[in-house]
Structures are given as structure tokens and as C-alpha cells.
Structure 1
Amino acid sequence: MLLTELNIDDLNQLMHLRVERLLHLFASTLPNCLIQIDAGELLSVYCPDSTIVDDLLDELDDLCHHAWIILGVNTVALYFGEEEILQASTYIPE
């Protein structure tokens, strides 16, 4: 069996595919937003419209759960304009 290491391009491609999967799951809201992942720990979602923020707040539990499973982030932060609306942990206690 041949073992290969992932290079930086491979890792970037994997992260891109993970983000695409998350966007697909939240197709009515997230594709309209700017998504940023900081050091693999924080998913920042910058929303251009307050109705998108409201929709994401309604789906917050699902968003946090899927962000943790798909992206491995610990926290989700929602922004409207420059203002942080909410920061939520993706950890869901059993």
C-alpha cells in the first residue's frame, strides 16, 4: 500500500469541498453570505441582509451541529454589517 501525505493544495481543496457541502445544506441562506474560517476554530458568517440573520438564528442548532461535523470548528459567529450578532459554541452536550 502506498501512503502519501497531503500537501497544502490538497488540504485547501478538502476545506473548499467541506465549505461547499455546508453551503449546500443551508442553500437558502449561506450562499448569500461571506464565509470565513479562522485557524479551523471559528466559522464567521457575514450576512448582507437582516432577514438572512433571522433565518440563520432560526436554524442555529443545525448550523452549529453541521459546522462542527463538516468543518470541525468550535464556534460559529454571525455578523450583520460590521456588528457581531451572536457567537455560539458548536459543542452539543450529550
Structure 2
Amino acid sequence: MAITWFWGLATLLARSGIDLDDLYDLVSAWLRGQRSLRLLSGVDHTTGIKASVLMGRTDSGQLLVIIARIDGRDLYVINALHPTPELIADHERWEHRND
């Protein structure tokens, strides 16, 4: 599976505090079966655009949310963000159930 993002997006992510190495390492570890990710589907009800939401922990243990489009064996990163406290709590409950 190829991981694709556009350099304009990479620049915006870096400016918003997302470490691109963390993002790449997290997705790569998941693809190698070395790390689990929580996968959710998302829909923008205004535009109808469908995306996948991937949530997992970086090597440092920080939770990262990745918005992507999965097309066959390719993953197109649309956005990434640090989660809200509510999302962190929700994800920690999921981790506890799935350990």
C-alpha cells in the first residue's frame, strides 16, 4: 500500500504541530502489522465526501487522528490532527476493550 500526501498538505500539517515522521511511522507500523489503529468511517454531510478516520498512538504514545481516503491498496492522507480531550477519552475506552 502506498501512502500519499501532497507537499502543500505536509506543510500545513507541520505548521499545525503534526510531526510528519510520527504520521508516517504510525501508518507504516500499522501496515506492517506492528501497531493497531482504530478505523472509523466518516462522511462530510455537506459535501458527501467519504473518508476513513484512523486513530492510533505514535512511538511516543501520543494519540494521532488521520483522515484519509483508502482506494484499493493506496492510502491518501487528507488531514491529521491532535484529538480533543473527549476523543482521547473515547479512544482510551476503545483501547481498554481491545487490548
- TM bracket, shorter-chain basis: under 0.3
Normalised by the length of structure 1, the TM-score is 0.27
Normalised by the length of structure 2, the TM-score is 0.26
